Chain A
Amino acid sequence: MADKIWFLIPELILLAGVVVVSVLGLSPRKMLRDCLPAVTIAFLLIACVVTPFLYDSDHVSRFHSVMPMLGKYVNMMVCIVGILLALTSAGLIDRRQEASVQSGRAVFDALRANRGEYYAFFLLSLIGVMLCAHANDLIWLFLALELTSLPTYVMVAMSRPSRLAQEAAVKYFFLGAMASAMFLYGFALLYGSTGTIVLTEMQAVFTQQADSEAGINTLGIVGMLLALLGIFYKIAAAPMHFYAADVYEGAAAPVTAFLAFVPKTAGMLAIIMLLSTMGWFSPSGNLPQPILTMLWMVAVLTMTLGNIGALLQRSVKRMLAYSSIAHSGYMLIGIIAGPAAGGTGIDGLGAVLFYLLAYGIMNTAAFSVLAGLERNGQEIESLEELAGMRMRHGLMAAVIAISAGSLLGFPPLLGFVGKLYLFIAGVNAGQIALVVIAGLNSAISAWYYLSIVRQSIMAQPGPQSEVVVRGEAIWPRCAAFLAALAVIIVPIFSWGLMKAADRVTNSPDQLDLLSETQAYQAVKTDSRNP
């Protein structure tokens, strides 16, 4: 137990952060309220810095999990993207109220203040993602997924004072509840077929079943399919993707960026955890055929529907919502490839984890541009409002063009490196057709990503974009700039990150072998450069 607590230290740090920000948010002193984003970022930084030390200890060997090291990468990724997201939402919540307090038209009313709660929910949701990576039983996994999602429902509702946001929140909540019911039902069936809720034990049972003549029993397969279907809601994969456009459009841009990254990461982790009980680490190393088939179809449907949906949009936020769907489809390639596919040292799960980080960064860059500029006090969202941005807000135009290029997967930006790794993992597992479909999908996506570039760089300012001005807070634009910089610079060092992402997906057995593997790889590298 103590070992488990040991790995929860980052989460506990963030929990302390939750308490601090929710109290600070009620303070009548404006200065204290204004430093909420800074406090949030500080806690995220501490959690990020602490993480690697925790995993260097020998507690790892006593930590029962299907992938003991997974938390190391996930914690740091979540914290880093979380910092960017916190910057993006600085100055967003309670803007109207703060403005009237400042101008003396109203007195500060702690009952109506939401800012502290917003950051508290923000951190809670991130804690949920981190907990997903540590899950070793179904209950824990379920609770972690819910902890990720529940705060986001509230965040959508409080993100801006408009009916759209509230409608989006209600829609998101009800459909989310349905999805939760679905994967809970799946979990129940999984329990029924294995008699255990502990993932490592489930893995043993399924491996045993796979070796027997009857194979994995149908109840288990159905349970897994149902569970996956429910989780597809979190990653916005077809056929559970339909809510995405409306919800993303309704929420304010920083929250949309949050929705595109955080639940998606949690969902991907849950999928990885669940599937690793069934096949990947067994002697055959393959998923059961029905599950592989479903994943394949879902991947193809998701990227195609996402990209075609995005072609039809005029609102940049809806467009990016559909693009977020398409990116889930790309990531499923890595899941289908699985870990150590083909025995050439390429890890599909590592590719997924790397792509999640890449996607988090480039997506945040795009959304923080939308959050950093405003028209009549509203954030910008239509393509027309982007027109002529180059002449009025040159840096932001460059940022949104770079992030669009990276989302498209254009070399040599971060998105390209991520996508290349996914494609290589897919080809490595023999999924040539899937990779070709993904490539053609990228080509389709060029059309709408280019329309963002064309509007912001080439078009003359129109009547709608003349009145676009910089937002009050500088922080969203800082986040945009930092993220765009990362999109350009990280590719140079991405091998280190890929290796990190690769290593954390090892099962406990593989971790024991790791030292030998490293020796083997060293030999291999020598033979490659004679």
Chain B
Amino acid sequence: MSAHEISAADSHGHCLAANNLACQRGERWLFEGLNLTVSSGTCLHVIGANGSGKTSLLRMLCGISRIDRGDITWQQKNIAGNDDYFSGLAYLGHKDGLKNEFTAAENLEFYQRLNFENDPAKVDEILAEMGILACADLPTFQLSFGQRRRLALARLLLVPRPLWVLDEPFTGIDQAGRNLIERLCVEHLAAGGILILTNHQSLRSGPLKPFLNELEL
């Protein structure tokens, strides 16, 4: 990356854009001609009824699902095969990506090593921050649903990533956990991060309000 590009990225922050995006399920088009731009320090809340394509949109934005029409760009560059994009992306979907055979700490350590780091002390710190340090050495299959969600969300804190994509992050989480996640999201946004999430309740009254943009599918 040249010096010029770095300064351009610094002054404008990060930017994720989708142009003329469409999603097809079977014969039916879930959405067509969707345009969106999300830039640093904003939270995009994707709203829609069940089956309206919220999860499909999020998975397309993450480069997991095939894009039926249109394109998605990160800093004006297509996301397909774009390592710069994937080093900046954290995604939490309905499936948590945790192995039952591993302990909570081992699960997190694997993702930490995938992120080119190896620091068990930091893993303990993150587990403590998520309130599940007591479960660190328990096999993941013994964790409750809420504890598993917290462990999956703990991945977001491993390395700073500018883009968080969270599919219903508050499912199965108690009120204290919800407050915790909202606080982490606010910190992330205040530091210039981008947050894209789906949630069935409105976020207009919560702490995310100052950053909030809504997209209705």
A binds B: no
User: Which B residues contact A (CB, under 8 angstroms)?
Assistant: none
